[in-house]
C-alpha cells in the first residue's frame, strides 16, 4: 500500500508540475505573475470536453488529439491577450499586472459559464486507459501512468528546447538578465510573446490531460491556481527545475500524509512552504526568485 | 466622517424598524425575494431551483395568484458569499418590501441570511442549503426547512447500511468542514446504535473540493472496507467515483454517497454499473407514482428541455408550501403566516402529509436511498430499488435538539 501511495504522490506531482511549469516559465522571463493561469487550465479542460466527441471518442489517439488541439487553442487565446494587453504593461508595477491578469480570470470564467453553463461536465476516459494493473493485492490505475508518461515527455521536450535550441538560449538569456539580453539585440517582444504562448500551451495541456480524471467545471480556475502557486513558492518562482522538485515534494508529502497523519496532510505542505520561505530569506538573497 | 457613519446607521436602523413595524401591505403583488448563489460554487444548483420557482410563480399567477394577489419574483445574486447574501437580503427587505425570502444554497450564506430574517422578521425557507445549525443552534422563528437536513440524510444512509448484513466494516469519509464532519458523526453514531457489532474505522477527511482523491481512496481501501460512506459532493465526488475505478474500489468495496440527479447526469457513462448506492433529496424517478409529480416533470421537461433535479423539485415544493400556508393564514403577515406554516399539512410532489415542526422549523421531508443502475430510456444512470425514509424517523427528537441548543450556549 505504501508503494501505491508513493506512486499516487508522484502522479499528482507530475500533474502539479505541468500546471506550475507554465506559470514559472512566464514569471521567469517576463516577471508577470499570471493569475489567469488556472483559468487557461480550465479552458483547456472545457475545450477538450468539446473536442473529444468530435475527433475519435473512446480512443487514446482521439483523446490526445483533443488535448493537443485544446492546448494550441489556449495558446492562441493567450497570445492574443499578450499582444493586445499584457505587452503594454511589462514595465508597470506589480499591482497593475495583478489587476490585469485577475481581470482575465473573471472574463474567462464568465465566458466559460456563458458558453458551457454552470453544470459540471465529464470527459470520458479512453477505453484503453481505464482499469488497473493488478500486482498482488495492489491496484495501479492505468490512466495516471499514461499521464505520468506524457508528463515525462513534456519535461524532456522542455529540457531539450531550453538547453539545445536557439529559442532556449534566448529564453535562458532573458530569464538571466533581461536588460543585457535586450542590449545584445534579442527581440525582447518576440521572446515574451513566445514564452507566454508556451506557458498557456502548458496550462491548456495540463487542463486537457487532467479532464477525464475528475469533473470539468468553471470553478477549476481558482482550485488549480492555489496549488500551482504553492509548488512555485517551494521551487522558487521562475525556476523550472525548482518547480519540478516542488511539485514532487508536494505530491508525495500529501499522499504520505494522508496515509500516516490524515489530519496533518495539508498542514505538512504549508509547513514545508513556510520552511522554504524562511530558509530562502536567511540564505542567499539572490535566488532565482528575485 | 464618524458622524456620517453614525447618521447612516441611524437611518438604516430606522428603515429597518419601519419595515418591521409597518402594517404589511394587503394589496398589490406578493413579493418573493429570491437571493441565490447564481454565481460561485452553488450556481448550477440554484439555477435548477430558480427554474422551478419561475415555473411555480407562473402557475400560481395563472390560477389567480395567492389570496387573489399576483406573485412577483425578485431575484438577486448572493455570489455564494455570506456577506453578499445578507446584504442583498437586507436590500430586498428594505427596498422592495418582499414578503418572503428564499433561494439559499450554501450553509454559510444560509446562516447569514437566517440572521437577517430573524432581525427584520421576514419569513425565510431553504430548499437547497441544509445545515442542521439553522434548525438547532441558529434556529429562529421565521425559518423553515423544506427538505431533509444534512443530519437526517446521514441518518437515512445509516439506516440503509444497517440493512446490509454482509457489510461488516465501514470507512466513513467526509469533506473537511462543518458539513462533512457533522454528516460523518451523525452517520457513525446512528449506525453504531442500529448495529453495535459493525466495525467503523477512523474517518478520512479530504479537503473541500479535492480534485485528486487517489491518496484518500488508497488510504480507505487499505482498511479493507465492505463499504465506504462518503459525505462529499461536486468535483470531489466525481473524482472519487472516476478515480476509484482505477483502484478497484467497485470490485473490492461499495460506495454509499450523496447522489442528486445533477450529479448522476454529470457523471454520465463514467458511473460504475454497480456497487454505488446513492442518497438523494428528491429524485424525479422515485416520485413518478404521483400524478402531480408526473405532470410537473413533463411540464418542466417541455419548458427547460431537461429532467428536473432534486433542487428543482424541492424548490417547487417549497414555493407551493408557502402558497398553501398563506392561503390558510389568509394573509402574508409574518406572524400569521408562520402560525400557518407550523399548522398546515401539505401534499407536495414528494408525497402527502408534509408538515413543519414549530420548535425547529424542520419539515418531515423524506430521504431517498437506492442502487445506482443504468436503465433504458435515460442517458445517465438512475437508481433502482429506491427506499424512501419518512422524515419523522430521521429527525432528531425535541429533547435531543434542546440538549444540543443548551450545549451550544
Chain A residue whose CA is closest to B216 = A258
Interface contact flag, A141 B204, Cβ < 8 Å = no
Judge contact between B202 and A258, C-beta under 8 A.
no
Q: Does A5 touch chain B (CB under 8 A)?
A: yes
Residues forming beta bridges with residue B72, ordered by sequence position: B31
| Dihedral sign for Cα atoms in the order A142, A148, A151, A156 | negative
Rounded CA separation A196/A86 (Å): 10
| Dihedral sign for Cα atoms in the order A131, B380, A123, A252 | negative
Q: Does A121 touch chain B (CB under 8 A)?
A: yes
Q: Which residue ranges make up each domain of chain B?
A: 2-149+289-354, 151-281+367-408
The architecture CATH gives domain B151-281+367-408? 3-Layer(aba) Sandwich (3.40)
Interface contact flag, B218 A121, Cβ < 8 Å = no
Interface contact flag, A223 B209, Cβ < 8 Å = yes
Contacts A124 to B, Cβ<8 Å: 268-270
Residue-level length of chain B: 409
Among B246, B250, B251, which would you mutate to test the A interface (most chain A Cβ atoms within 10 Å of its Cβ)? B246
- Give this complex's ipTM: 0.79
Interface contact flag, B238 A117, Cβ < 8 Å = no
Pick from A113, A120, A262: CB nearest B204: A262
Rounded CA separation B103/B322 (Å): 13
**What per-residue string of b and e applies to A115-124 under the rule 16 or more CB within 10 Å gives b?**
ebebbbbbbb
Helix (H) or strand (E) holding A240: helix A240-260
| Dihedral sign for Cα atoms in the order B75, B80, B84, B85 | positive
Could you tell me which residues of chain B have a Cβ less than 8 Å from any Cβ in chain A? 39-41, 43-44, 47, 202, 204-207, 209, 211-212, 214-216, 218-219, 221-222, 234-235, 238-239, 242-243, 245-248, 262-263, 265-270
Q: For residue A265, what pLDDT is reported?
A: 75
- The number of angstroms, rounded, from the C-alpha of B159 to the middle of its chain's C-alpha atoms is 20
Closest Cα in chain A, distance from residue B327 (Å)? 36
Q: At what angle do helices A142-164 and A166-176 cross, to 10 degrees?
A: 80
Q: Does A23 touch chain B (CB under 8 A)?
A: no
Query: Phi, psi at residue B164, to the nearest 5°?
Result: -110, 90
A vs B, Cβ pairs < 8 A, gives 121
Residue (of B317, B337, B320) closest to B328 by Cα position: B337
Rounded CA separation B223/B212 (Å): 19
pTM of the model: 0.84
Rounded CA separation B43/A286 (Å): 45
Residue (of B308, B262, B310, B340) closest to B127 by Cα position: B310
Q: Does A141 touch chain B (CB under 8 A)?
A: yes
Closest Cα in chain B, distance from residue A140 (Å)? 6
Chain A residue whose CA is closest to B220 = A259
Judge contact between B218 and A4, C-beta under 8 A.
yes
Interface contact flag, B247 A132, Cβ < 8 Å = yes
Query: Concatenated DSSP letters for A135-151?
Result: ETTEEEEHHHHHHHHHH
Radius of gyration for chain A, computed over Cα atoms and rounded to the nearest angstrom: 19
Contacts B268 to A, Cβ<8 Å: 122, 124
Closest Cα in chain B, distance from residue A252 (Å)? 10
Residue with cell 420557482: B53
Identify the segments of chain B with pLDDT beneath 70.
1-25
Closest Cα in chain A, distance from residue B299 (Å)? 21
Instruction: Read off the C-alpha cell for B333.
Output: 403577515
Contacts B218 to A, Cβ<8 Å: 1, 4-5, 8, 255, 258-259
DSSP code for B363: B
Interface contact flag, B204 A258, Cβ < 8 Å = yes
Residue with cell 392561503: B327
Pick from B39, B216, B262: CB nearest A258: B216
Instruction: Read off the C-alpha cell for B56.
Output: 411555480
Q: Does A28 touch chain B (CB under 8 A)?
A: no
Give B339: exposed, middle or buried? Use CB within 10 Å, 0-12, 13-18, 19+: middle
**Looking at domain B2-149+289-354, does it have CATH number 3.40.50.970?**
no
Q: Assign B110 to helix, strand or coil.
A: helix
Query: Phi, psi at residue B35, to the nearest 5°?
Result: -105, 100
Q: Does A118 touch chain B (CB under 8 A)?
A: yes
Chain A residue whose CA is closest to B221 = A1
Rounded CA separation B173/B221 (Å): 12
Rounded CA separation B350/B369 (Å): 14
Rounded CA separation B17/A80 (Å): 54
Between the CA of residue A118 and those of A263, B90, B259, B396, what are the distances in Å? 32, 27, 18, 35
Contacts B265 to A, Cβ<8 Å: 119
Q: Per-residue pLDDT tens, chain A, 290 aa: give them.
A: 788 889 889 999 999 999 999 999 999 888 888 999 999 999 999 999 999 999 988 888 999 999 999 999 999 999 999 999 998 888 788 888 889 999 999 999 999 999 998 888 888 888 888 778 888 777 888 888 888 998 899 889 988 998 899 888 888 888 788 788 888 888 888 888 999 999 999 999 999 999 998 889 888 898 889 889 999 989 888 888 899 999 999 999 989 988 888 777 778 888 888 888 888 776 544 445 43
Pick from B211, B214, B263: CB nearest A223: B211
Q: Does A213 touch chain B (CB under 8 A)?
A: yes
Residue with cell 439506516: B159
Q: For residue B4, what pLDDT is reported?
A: 52
Residue-level length of chain A: 290
Fold agreement (B2-149+289-354, B151-281+367-408):
yes
Chain B residue whose CA is closest to A267 = B207
Contacts A211 to B, Cβ<8 Å: none
Amino acid at each position: 500500500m505504501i508503494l501505491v501511495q508513493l506512486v499516487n504522490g508522484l502522479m499528482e506531482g507530475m500533474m502539479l508540475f505541468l500546471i506550475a511549469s507554465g506559470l514559472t516559465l512566464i514569471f521567469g522571463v517576463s516577471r508577470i505573475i499570471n493569475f489567469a493561469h488556472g483559468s487557461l487550465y480550465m479552458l483547456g479542460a472545457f475545450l477538450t470536453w468539446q473536442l473529444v466527441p468530435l475527433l475519435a471518442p473512446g480512443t487514446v489517439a482521439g483523446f490526445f488529439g483533443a488535448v493537443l488541439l485544446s492546448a494550441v487553442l489556449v495558446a492562441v487565446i493567450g497570445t492574443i491577450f499578450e499582444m493586445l494587453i499584457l505587452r503594454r504593461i511589462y514595465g508597470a508595477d506589480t499591482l497593475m499586472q495583478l489587476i490585469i491578469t485577475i481581470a482575465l480570470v473573471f472574463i474567462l470564467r464568465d465566458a466559460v459559464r456563458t458558453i458551457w453553463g454552470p453544470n459540471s461536465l465529464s470527459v470520458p476516459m479512453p477505453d484503453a486507459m481505464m482499469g488497473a494493473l493488478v500486482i498482488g493485492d495492489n491496484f495501479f490505475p492505468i490512466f495516471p501512468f499514461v499521464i505520468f508518461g506524457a508528463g515525462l515527455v513534456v519535461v524532456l521536450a522542455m529540457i531539450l528546447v531550453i538547453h539545445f535550441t536557439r529559442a532556449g538560449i534566448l529564453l535562458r538569456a532573458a530569464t538571466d538578465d533581461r536588460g543585457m539580453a535586450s542590449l545584445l539585440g534579442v527581440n525582447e517582444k518576440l521572446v515574451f510573446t513566445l514564452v507566454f504562448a508556451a506557458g498557456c500551451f502548458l496550462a491548456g495541456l495540463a487542463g486537457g490531460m487532467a479532464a477525464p480524471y475528475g469533473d470539468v467545471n468553471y470553478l477549476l480556475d481558482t482550485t488549480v491556481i492555489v496549488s500551482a502557486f504553492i509548488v512555485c513558492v517551494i521551487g522558487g518562482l521562475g525556476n523550472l527545475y525548482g518547480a519540478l522538485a516542488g511539485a514532487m515534494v508536494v505530491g508525495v508529502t500529501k499522499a504520505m500524509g494522508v496515509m500516516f497523519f490524515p489530519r496533518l496532510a495539508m498542514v505538512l505542505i504549508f509547513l514545508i512552504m513556510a520552511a522554504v520561505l524562511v530558509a530562502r530569506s536567511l540564505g542567499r538573497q539572490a535566488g532565482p526568485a528575485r | 466622517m464618524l458622524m456620517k457613519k453614525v447618521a447612516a446607521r441611524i437611518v438604516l436602523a430606522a428603515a429597518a424598524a419601519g419595515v418591521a413595524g409597518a402594517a404589511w401591505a394587503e394589496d398589490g403583488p406578493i413579493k418573493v425575494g429570491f437571493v441565490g448563489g447564481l454565481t460561485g460554487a452553488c450556481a448550477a444548483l440554484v439555477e435548477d431551483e430558480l427554474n422551478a420557482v419561475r415555473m411555480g410563480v407562473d402557475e400560481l399567477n395563472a390560477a389567480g395568484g395567492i389570496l387573489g394577489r399576483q406573485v412577483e419574483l425578485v431575484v438577486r445574486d448572493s455570489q455564494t458569499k455570506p456577506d453578499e447574501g445578507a446584504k442583498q437580503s437586507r436590500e430586498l427587505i428594505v427596498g422592495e418590501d418582499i414578503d418572503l425570502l428564499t433561494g439559499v444554497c450554501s450553509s454559510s450564506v444560509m446562516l447569514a441570511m437566517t440572521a437577517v430574517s430573524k432581525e427584520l422578521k421576514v419569513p425565510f425557507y431553504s430548499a437547497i442549503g441544509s445545515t442542521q445549525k439553522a434548525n438547532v443552534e441558529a434556529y429562529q422563528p421565521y425559518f423553515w426547512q423544506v427538505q431533509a437536513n444534512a443530519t437526517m440524510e446521514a441518518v437515512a444512509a445509516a439506516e440503509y447500511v444497517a440493512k446490509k448484513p454482509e457489510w461488516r466494516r465501514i470507512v466513513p469519509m467526509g469533506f473537511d468542514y462543518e458539513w462533512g464532519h457533522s454528516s460523518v458523526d451523525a452517520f457513525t453514531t446512528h449506525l453504531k446504535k442500529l448495529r453495535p457489532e459493525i466495525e467503523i474505522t477512523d474517518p478520512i477527511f479530504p479537503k473541500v473540493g479535492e480534485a485528486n482523491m487517489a491518496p484518500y481512496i488508497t488510504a480507505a481501501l487499505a482498511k479493507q472496507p465492505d463499504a465506504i460512506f462518503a459525505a462529499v459532493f461536486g468535483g470531489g465526488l466525481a473524482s472519487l467515483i472516476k478515480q476509484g475505478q482505477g483502484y478497484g474500489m467497485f470490485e473490492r468495496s461499495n460506495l454509499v454517497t450523496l447522489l442528486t440527479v445533477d450529479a448522476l447526469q454529470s457523471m454520465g457513462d463514467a458511473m460504475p454499473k454497480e456497487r454505488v448506492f446513492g442518497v438523494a433529496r428528491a429524485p424525479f424517478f422515485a416520485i413518478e407514482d404521483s400524478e402531480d409529480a408526473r405532470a410537473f416533470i413533463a411540464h418542466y421537461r417541455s419548458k427547460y428541455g431537461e429532467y428536473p433535479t432534486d433542487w428543482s423539485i424541492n424548490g417547487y415544493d417549497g414555493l407551493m408550501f408557502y402558497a398553501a400556508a398563506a392561503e390558510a393564514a389568509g394573509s402574508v403577515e409574518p406572524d400569521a403566516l408562520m402560525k400557518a406554516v407550523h399548522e398546515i399539512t401539505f401534499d407536495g410532489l414528494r408525497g402527502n402529509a408534509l408538515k413543519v415542526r414549530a420548535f425547529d422549523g424542520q419539515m418531515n421531508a423524506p430521504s431517498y436511498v437506492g442502487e445506482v443502475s443504468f436503465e433504458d430510456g435515460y442517458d445517465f444512470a438512475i437508481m433502482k430499488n429506491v427506499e424512501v425514509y419518512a422524515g419523522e424517523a430521521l429527525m432528531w427528537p425535541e429533547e435531543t435538539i434542546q440538549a444540543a441548543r443548551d450545549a451550544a450556549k
